[in-house]
Amino acid sequence: MTDRANTDVLLVEDELFIALDLQETIEEAGFRVVGPCATVVEAEAAIERHAGRFAAAVLDVRLADGTVFPAADRLHAAGVPLLFHSGHADDAALRLRYPSATVCPKPSAPDALARALRGCAAARGGARRRSA
């Protein structure tokens, strides 16, 4: 993985200790963390700075300033694979809104989360190759 977009994972999580655990899991899975972003405003700024180019995004649903959906909508439109990691996620509603998203309940075992993240990033890489 040489292109930074192939290794950058946007992390959106407002609980500090969970964010630090997730960051460690993401990095141990071989990715570079952008964030953690604790608010929708921070997530939107990170998306703007990176032009929406991420291997994947790990998103909590409820943040300090609202739900993550405005940022998730932008990422989804840019083709970024979404991995929702939340204790407040309605699986059916998320799958209806984002059919290709991965939903991991909070808490998830680090190895299960890393596997899901690698699957998301692999799907993104395959989509890029097919469109090239």
Query: For residue range 97-108, what is the model confidence (pLDDT) as tens digits?
Result: 999 999 998 888
* pLDDT value for 39: 97
* pLDDT value for 132: 38
* pLDDT value for 92: 86
* pLDDT value for 107: 84
Q: Where along the chain do its domains lie?
A: 4-121
Tokens of 80: 């970024």
Domain boundaries 4-121, corresponding CATH code: 3.40.50.2300
Q: What is the dihedral of CA 96, 102, 104, 108, to 10 degrees?
A: 180
* pLDDT value for 128: 45
* pLDDT value for 3: 54
Higher pLDDT, 1 or 57: 57
* pLDDT value for 114: 96
* pLDDT value for 87: 82
Higher pLDDT, 25 or 90: 25
| pLDDT of 23 over the 70 cut | yes
In the block, residue with structure tokens 């299960």: 112
